[in-house]
Each structure stands twice: as C-alpha cells, then as structure tokens.
Structure 1
C-alpha cells in the first residue's frame, strides 16, 4: 500500500503546484490613473511610488508567480483626462486599472469600462478602486467591473460617530468639506449619524469649498472660531486638509478635528506639535499597525525619504494574486467572477469582498495625533509625532447596507 499512497500524495502535490503556478512568469500590466500635477500632485506622486515599490516587493514573491508592471499616467484629477488616460493605458496592454483620488474620475472609469467590456468580450478590463469613497459607487452607480478596497464615506462616518457619541466634551460641531461627491456625502452622513447617536450635539456650521483650489483657509477658520465649535468634521485630503489645519494652528483655534485623511502628504507637518491630541482619523490601518506593513514602511522611508500611507495598495496585490491562483488565469473576466464574495488575508487580517456591491469589508481604527512613544514609534514626515490607535471596530460595526442592483454579464 505504500507505493500507491506515495504516488497519490506526489500527484496531489504536483497538481496543487500546477494550479498555484499556472501563470508563473506572466506579466500583469496595471494602469495607475491619478494626479501628478496641480495641488494634489504630492499625494498622487506618493501613491504612484507606493504602487511601484510594492510591485517590486510582490514580484519577489507572490502566490501566483506573476510579475506586476505599473503604467503611471497623470489624470490631472479630471474625469475627461481620466478617460483619455484610460484609452492610452489600454493601448499599452493594461487589463487592470487602479485609481483612488476623486469620485469624478472613478465614475469616468466605470462608465468607460461598462461600454468597453460590453463591446469587447474576451478583452475586458477590471477596475480596482483603492481610495475613491463616494458611497454611490457601490450603491446606485455600482458596476460589476469595479471593486473598492477602501471603506466608503458612510462606513467611515459610522465608525467615527460611534466613537464621537461617547466623547462628552463634544457639544458643537462644524462641518467643512470639499465641494464634490465625497465632501457632500461626509456632510450628509455626519448630520444623519450625529442626529441619531447624539441628538444633543449642535451643527453650528456646514461649509463646502472648491476641491484643490483654496490656498488660504484663514476665512474659513475665522467662521469656525466665531461659531463657537469645539469639534470639526472634515473629509478633506491632500493640500485641502494640510492648509486647513495649518490655518487653524496659525490662528490658535482650539478645536478637535475628526478627519478621514490626516496621513496624506504635508498634513503631518502641518499638524506638528500644535495639534498634539487634537486631530483624530478614521481608517483601515495606522502607522504602527502590526504585520507586514511595518518593515515595508521602514524600507519605503529609507528609499524615498517619504511615508507609505496608502496601505491598501498592499491589498491590491494580495487580492489579485490570490484570485489568479483560484481561477488559474489572469483574465479579468475570470478574476472578476472569483473576486465576488472572496475572503482572503491582507496586511490588516481577514477581509471579504462583499458580493452584493463589491465593497471590501474590514475593521476600522480611530487614531489620535500624539508624540511618538515605545508602543507607537513611527514618525511621519519626521515630526516626532504619530497617529496612535485609540479604538478598533470590527467590520460589522461600520458595515453599511447597499442598494446596489448588480448587473452581471451573461
């Protein structure tokens, strides 16, 4: 009996290896379409470096044995430029596209791929969204070819206000946000959630300002000071958050900021010592999170003198690699089918791509800006400060329902 058993075991191992390495050596081209010019160029540049850096890391070892190649194109934060960039990327052989800054460009990609994929069976392109968080993208405007890795605006607000409802010092809240879909949604969900969880809290201001155009936030800070607010909720990112907090500190405004994107380039420097204990962030990770990101962040900083803060870029590669193995193919149509409902492990633990709307389900952290210490040693932009975790919420806490009516290809 020993020979047959050994033969069977060897056969199973061989079959398993063949399945896992069916695409070994194949190059997977991923088009990155985000801003490399304008006021948000620093954020886009950092994220492109992150994609290139982690591609190199995953090319050393990934379960599918593929090689990732990044094609970076400046979309100038414009839907029209994004459509042109997408065409250029497909002409260069990209079958996967990633984007994260702005819901306008996200919708442009989704609309273009719906048409392209319907007209070109066998040449489909798949869109992985790593940061565009407008809830409509996985609700009324959901698309089979779109998969989102970041928690959407409503999910983050659910976690943020769950934390805020227990903060007795919050009495008056001011809302200031960028005037586009995400910013409008932050305002909407903040008001709805606070009304339900803390009806005693007053909304004393609600401003929307142009995206990536304001260079001086002093007039807005004056309004916040005059309102008597003790807290500010903002979904601002990039220069719009860095300049807002800088103006607040310059004016000596004594409020707490509850944010979505305090990690983005320039914001840690703007916060500095003046914001100690006064800025909170909600997100799927943090600077000092245990796991594979800690050594990768250290290596990234050593190589670029910059901070790796868009951690779900890691999830892009982990998710695609796992999907390639499961379907024994890198074809986007086959990969999309297996991604629906797929559970897999990323840097932040076990996550699930919800089948109903293609929204990743994952836990969220609330972090606070404070001095680095032995437990939280990572210092962004060499400030001597960090965002330290103060609360963690399991995925079910922030998981919001979806109205998506997914139209799947026949």
Structure 2
C-alpha cells in the first residue's frame, strides 16, 4: 500500500512498511520454491521457509515445502511429522497436505496408509483430479486389490478425457506405466500401451514394452518392427536388444519352415518372453532369487544342500544349470526343510541325468513322459514318485504318474521367490503378480492337462 505524505518535499508518496514486509515475505517464499525446483536438498530452503513462517504463520504452504525438502534429504520421519501436523490443523492447506502425505507414504511403501489417505483426499477434495483417482488405483493394487486398482486407473483416464483433454496423452502414458509397474497381465497392458504410444510415438520405454506384449500375443513381426525403431534411436538399449533376439527366435524357425506359430504357442514362448521382460525390469530372475535365499533360508534347509556343481558341468547338465551351480541338489528325504507341504527337494544333476536316460531307454514305462516331443526340465522330487518340472512357458508343474499335471507356480523363479517371502525376505515381484500354489501337493495347484 502507498500512502500520500503531504508534508514531504513536493508532496511525495511514501511506502507503507507493511507493504515492504509483505513483498519481502513473498520474495523469500517464491525463492524457496525456486530453489526446491532446482535442488530439493539445498540448505537455504529450510532457512527461507522458516523465516517466512516466523513472519507470516498463515503461509502454511511453507510447511509442505519443508516436508518435501526433508524427504529429499532422506529424513522421511521428519517429513511425515510435518505433514501429519499440517493435516491435523485442517486449514486451507488441508487437502494439499493429505495428498503430499499420501505420496510420501506410497514412496515409503506404507501402502495401507497411502490407500487410506488416497481415499480421504477424494472425499475431501470438492473437485478431485484424474491423477488423484489414479493414485488411489495404484494404492489398491499394492494393498491386495489389483483388479479393482486397475479399474480405477482406467476410470482416471476416462476422467482426463472429459476434464483435462490437454493432458489426456499424459494420462494414457501414466496408465500404461502403472499397469506395467504393478505387474498387470500383458493382455491388459497391451491395449493401454497401444493407446499411449499412439498419443506419444516418441516414448521408447512404451515401444519396447509394447513389443514384449506383442511377443506374448504371438505377434513377433510387429514386435520386431517396434524394437528396430527403438534401436535405431538408441543401439545400446539392452532391453530392446534382448527383445529383438527373442523376436527373431520366434520368426526364424517359422520363416525356415521348421515350425509354425501354433507350435510356438504350444511351447509357451510368449509367456517366456514376457517373463524375460519382468525379470529384467524388476530383478526377479532365478539368480536373484537364489541370492536372496542365501540370506534368509533356515539352517536346516542350508544344511540339507549339497555343494555347488562346477559352473561348466552345471551348464552342460540336463537340469536347471543355474540352480545346480548354486547347489547340486539336496539330500534325499530333506524336502520338508522348505517348510511347505509336499516334501519336494532339489534333485541332483546325477539324478536328473539318470531319470532322463531311463525314460529314453524304456518310454513305455513312463507314459506321461517324452523326451522327444515335450519340453521339460526336472527340478524337484518328493522321493515318492512326484516331481516338480519346468514345462511349457516356463511353468512349474507337478507331475505324478496316473494324475494330471498341476501348476505349482507360474515359474521356478516364482516358486523360489515364494520361499524367500515365506522366510521373511524381501519380494521384488510387482504387486499384481499372481503367485502360484507353491505347495506342490497333490491337492493344490491348477490342472493343466
């Protein structure tokens, strides 16, 4: 505010001190946010924010900035306390504080609390945005309701089309990214990725992951085209390189006339391709699972393990070389050490070779087995005529004479990760993955034939 000073020389105006103070406060507030945008952990941010609050306590947006700053500095608990205190005030920053606290809890993997706050934000905000609905969808996925969560993410995209058409392409990209990151089935991810890539053709991650979804859907020519486009822009993209190798593994035998797409489908190559992508993205392969097991398996299980097989011998064996190089099987009768029903234990390389040789010599004695027209790898046995084998698509199947095969887990890696989780280890698989029945018992699992 400017006041007129009639007693001054020439009747000159003078500035109100309150106006200057207000300008100083707003300058420091804006500078603090600008610093955060450039360097979130800058120490001046806290100094400026506290100075603003001392001079103008009603500028509680500075508390949000302080919380974001503390989070950027790695002090999650301090950030949480600041936001919780602001939420308790229920002032004009209430809804913003709820949303920031929701985001913090989600990033700190406290998904149940993030879900509660996401639901609260939608109730309290008179005009919730599509991104708020999408955040609730993600929280639902991580708290045990993947289908419901993915439906809410779809709903958010529809909201964006109506309410925020300028950001519709962003909403499509967010949906595809969240579906991928939460382990949605490729049949759900594929159309979402197609829409997102059509809206933003220059996004290489979408192109690469869509290519893997095409491989799952047995559309290798379309996958190859996408992957070659990605590699033309970045020849060092390892995931795209791997995808192109897999695409050619589909196409080469078909082009030579050695196989048909129906044969490849029966072998489960599409499932294997999608699992390759998952394992690359999340670090959920067999090697990672075995390394995790080393840190958590009980002493009884560790004591039941045989010494590792030499690396070259493991790779040349008929069994699963990565497991044999970890441990060359377990002692007979030690399957209960895994802590699950069924009593299955890892087979040794010698046991695998001996059994396959017996099947080859006398196939009539093994009517459920064929070493000529069936892909399988022997992995575990219950020492009573039951086996867990890797079958088509990399699925882990239980096989027992006179009974239909049953799926014990989506893959041997999934079976191992189930054990890691049961022993208290961290499970890096995406939230929406479908855990298999790891019991391997005759009663459990899904019949597959």
Scaled by the length of structure 1, what TM-score is found? 0.31
Larger of the two Rg values belongs to structure: 2
From the two aligned structures, give the one with the greater strand fraction.
1
From the two aligned structures, give the one with the greater helix fraction.
2
Scaled by the length of structure 2, what TM-score is found? 0.29
Higher relative contact order structure (alpha carbons within 8 Å, sequence separation ≥ 6): 1
